[in-house]
Amino acid sequence: MAEIIEMPKLSDTMTVGTLVNWLKKEGDEVASGDMICEVETDKATMEVECFADGVMLKQYVAEGGEIPVGAPMCAVGQKGEEPPAVDTGAIAEKAEELKKEEADSEDKPTEKPEEAPTQPAPAQPTGGAKPQPEGRKQEFIPEDEEGASAPAKSEGGRVKVSPLARKLAEEKGIPLEAITGTGPNGRIVKKDVLKAAEEGVKAPAKQPATSSAPAAPAQYVPAGAPIAEEGPIKVTNMRKAIATRLVESKTTIPHFYLEIEVDAAPLLALRAEINHHLSNRAPEEGGIKLTVNDFILKATTEALRRVPGVNASWMGDSIQQHGGVHMAFGVAVPDGLVTPVIRDAHAKTLRQISIETKELIQKARNKKLTPNEMSGSTFTVTNLGMYGTGGFYGIINPPNAAILSVGATIKKPVVDKDGNIVVGQRMGIGLSCDHRVIDGATGAEFLHALQAVLESPALMLV
């Protein structure tokens, strides 16, 4: 007997999703555990797993269609079997009704912020970047490509592509930039890769590098040319969720801001020494490559040990003090921003945090994060240092009481302990605090503890 596969609940706040791409088509054989489609939720675009064996008899929702949680997606049964009848019009009507309810609720003020869902919202900067003094040449030291906040990019910019199509393109050696996407919103899907392979599209030949060759210039845009194609841009479910949660955060949480400048030279020296000895070894031989962000996450965890009052949440008539550190960090993806969570960071070594961070970043970029891996944080770190941003202040990620914003490490003149002007390496760090939970003295104490750990980074190794 044919079995109907229903739309699962992919996040704790999800009521309706957008079916972005079918990974299997009608008539294909499927097995339990196969990924059959991609669905965009309010948090991310995720693959949906099949829990039946047989043949996909019928797809009840077209690509680009909205589908409520619990609604029929497709039917799986034996070849030649008649699929169950489903009112597809009712599915569309229910989806439209739910989206209207969500829109109406967004227009209403939040009366009880303490009842906000515990799923963390992406931590976005408020635009409060600190201006650099004019006439002073400063050099920033960028984070490497494995920095936690760096988005996955192709050579031509961000490319919308399904995981299956990406894997297929890599196997066939076809650059994504050379493929024209025919999926929703220009997304590259499997058939686009197969078509490109049939037409003989290949990766461009790499030019030998020469030391005298100038760096590739940015794409030339003639003067007077339009900035971009004019017109409305469809708002994704993720962008809607980001907008809703950040407006909620800024309008219901009394933010205040603190900043500190850290001497990053000891941290950079220790990182270089460790990577010099271990980065070329195989993982089974203890090999590892640490990023600046790994040190920041570990140092933040140690600072929260010393000042636990920052690791708390406002509950309306009480303050919830958390007994463990569940550290969220921002990862930019083509559709927006996600915040995976390192569980029990307080119980993990620098090496363990580094390994787990890389795994979560890879999952985020491949759209493999589970709802559990994006929920339950107690503190958030957002890092824009790899972009050269000197400093900024993030918007608090409810139900956290604070968010740490990390800027670039910049070479600039500083006065040493002997009163001499020397070249220093300074990292700007901002802290946004919920004044209902954290007072100014507590926030300052936390930043002082963080500074002490970052400027004596060997403390993280014991």
Catalytic residues, which ones? 435
- CB-count burial class (<10 Å; 0-12, 13-18, 19+) for 450: buried
DSSP state at residue 146: T
Reported as type and span, the H/E element at residue 350 is: helix 350-365
Listed in sequence order, the residues at least 6 apart from 241 whose beta carbon sits closer than 8 Å to its beta carbon are: 13, 42, 43, 121
Helix, strand, coil share (%) of the chain residues, nearest 5: 30, 25, 45
**How many angstroms separate the most distant Cα atoms in the chain?**
86
Task: Count Cβ neighbours within 10 Å for each residue of 279-307 and write b for 16 or more, e otherwise.
Answer: eeeeeeeeebbbbbbbbbbbbbbbbbeeb
Encode 389-435 in three state secondary structure.
Answer: CCCCCECCCCCCCEEEEEEEEEEEEEECCCCCEEEEEEEEEEEEEEC
Encode 242-259 in three state secondary structure.
Answer: HHHHHHHHHHHCCEEEEE
- Contact by Cβ (8 Å): 34, 66: no
CA 102 to chain centre: 23
DSSP state at residue 381: E
Nearest to 173 by CA among 151, 209, 205: 205
Nearest to 344 by CA among 352, 336, 335: 352
**C-alpha to C-alpha distance for 7 and 70, rounded to whole angstroms:** 5
Q: What are phi and psi of 10, to 5 degrees?
A: -95, -5
Reported as type and span, the H/E element at residue 195 is: helix 190-198
383, β-bridge pairs: 406
Strands 402-415 and 139-141: antiparallel
Provide Rg for the chain, Cα atoms: 25
| Cis peptide upstream of residue 399 (ω within 30 degrees of 0) | yes
